[in-house]
Structure 1
């Protein structure tokens, strides 16, 4: 950690561009004032970069539900046109959840995307995927996740990318690090991940993990109620959208589609003090 100094380009520019899906958009970290109703780890990283070194610009093109092909088709060229000096990419997690996904073909496309980003000379940050213990129903997908993570590690080494090995973070075994849908990080989870990304980049910050008491053990009745609520609120709507061929990202735009100069004080909310409130978040 700290071995990847974030130097400006020859024009003195420091520009962070985030690509991906709901993981990077910030779903689970609700904020009524910010675009799409969320904040997320990438916003937090951008703010700490600006505090450590004034002049950082930031764009976030990530939109929930996007598959790898969408990220390539919709986000890659705009990102390259911005001439970033720092790029983060998490992509492929939604593809892994789709039936019939060919992991070898998926990772070949993923590597091509990473190669394009690395060729810019920017510092590239990649992430493995966490083994989310959502339900025994999804356990067959674990092999896909293991294969995905192995290839991400190999690709990160091949292209000298910074690897944030999310799979290895024990803190995320605590259910409080996850939102009510059990698939997206909670506010605490996003804050923790922001700290990890900054640590990997060698950027000073004061983000510290919450010191919680051990989680209380649910009674059988409480567990059954939680399961029913989760199935009703999240699982059934998710499968309904899959059957209809729609996603929650279909009508959304990128949160920060063009680079914005991040205020050193007040953070990104400072840019929106006179703007209307963001739309409510959906997962």
Structure 2
């Protein structure tokens, strides 16, 4: 099979975004698929012996990703690394996006030290989302820092802020914090395009949305707050994480199974 990309060992680092939360799939390791699995599936179609590991764990803050994932990732000898980190820090009160970016700068330098291609993500424009919309300005500042980090270390940037499709509510999971299967599919396309990888993934072409009556929207908001927002707030108060007692779903670099490719 003709190889259309130069990579044979891909490792994904990060938090719930990279773990694939919001894109449930019982047949996938960990019970979630996500954009990184989708990217690995495409890469494996072009390089049959592609090895793929996913070290991401939901709820992880930047320092936890640095401490727990970077060295294990490098031990796997990857030639392609994706990392999305710092988002959970930015949405917390009193965090400084410049300070967070300073730490990720060091992380990218370490990941690039062995010559691997490294790709990182800006945060999406969350101005239309409840709760998270309040930190839109911090996300924008952090994104500008990330673009500078990518340029400084010759890394690839996946600009999710510019991905206007993500403003469609159907791109988001019911918790309004993670992406839906459609959102993960859209992000996988953006990653492959940024890496210059040929693929056959079709972009999402949604039907026009019908306006939701005000009363129905309020009922949905109350239901969302009870089911998702309140538990999230309680975890913050109790200093708990959704990733407590969770381990990486693909800790070792292995071949993507045929069943993964056809999900």
Pairwise same-fold verdict (TM > 0.5): yes
Task: Say yes or no: does 1:185 pair with 2:184.
Answer: no
Partner Cα distance (1:73, 1:222) in 2: 45
With normalisation by structure 2, the TM-score equals 0.94
**Equivalent of 2:219 in 207, 216, 225:** 225
Is 1:102 the counterpart of 2:96 in the alignment?
yes
Structure-2 residue corresponding to 1:126: 120
- 1:266 pairs, out of 250, 259, 262, with 259
CA positional deviation for 1:32: 1.3
- Match for residue 210 of structure 1 among 204, 207, 226: 204
Candidates 190, 199, 204, aligned match of 2:193 = 199
Structure 1 stretches lacking a partner, 5+ long: 9-13, 271-283
2:6 corresponding residue in structure 1: 7
After superposition, the C-alpha distances for 1:130-189 in whole angstroms (9 at most, x for unaligned) are 122222x44441221011000011111111111110000111111001001111110001
Q: 1:45 corresponds to which residue? A: 39
Which aligned segments of 4 or more residues in structure 1 are displaced greater than 6 angstroms? none
Contact 2:34 2:185 in 1 (8 A): yes
1:71 to 41, 65, 68: 65
Q: 1:98 to 1:251 in 2, by over 3 A?
A: same
Q: 1:28 aligns with which of 3, 22, 25?
A: 22
- 1:201-235 Cα offsets, whole Å, 9 max, x none, are 12221111232211111001111011101100111
Give 1:269 shift: 8.0
CA shift, 1:104, in A, is 2.0
SS at match of 2:193: helix
Q: How far apart in 2 are the matches of 1:237 and 1:199?
A: 36
Deviation at 1:15, TM superposition (A): 0.3
Q: Do the aligned residues in 2 keep the contact of 1:34 with 1:269 (CA within 8 Å)? A: no
1:87 corresponds to which of 55, 60, 81: 81
Contact 1:156–1:163 (CA under 8 A) maintained in structure 2:
yes
Seen in structure 2, the aligned counterparts of structure 1 residues 212 and 72 have a Cα distance that, compared at 3 Å, is same
Aligned-pair Cα RMSD in Å: 1.5
Question: 1:42 and 1:261 mapped to 2: Cα distance?
Answer: 14
Match of 2:146 in 1: 152
Aligned to 1:19, the other structure's residue is in SS state strand
| Higher RCO (C-alpha 8 Å, min separation 6) | 1
TM-fit CA distance, 1:268: 6.1
Distance 1:210 1:146 in 2: 25
Q: In structure 2, what is the equivalent of residue 176 of structure 1? A: 170
1:68-115 superposed Cα distances (whole Å, 9 cap, x missing partner): 000001001100111100000100000011112122221111100000
Q: Is the CA contact (8 Å cut-off) linking 2:76 and 2:253 kept in structure 1?
A: yes
SS of 1:167's equivalent in the other structure is coil
Report how many residues are paired. 259
Tell me if the contact between 1:90 and 1:126 (Cα under 8 Å) persists in the aligned partners: yes
CA distance in 2, matches of 1:208, 1:214: 18
Q: TM-score, normalised by structure 1?
A: 0.88
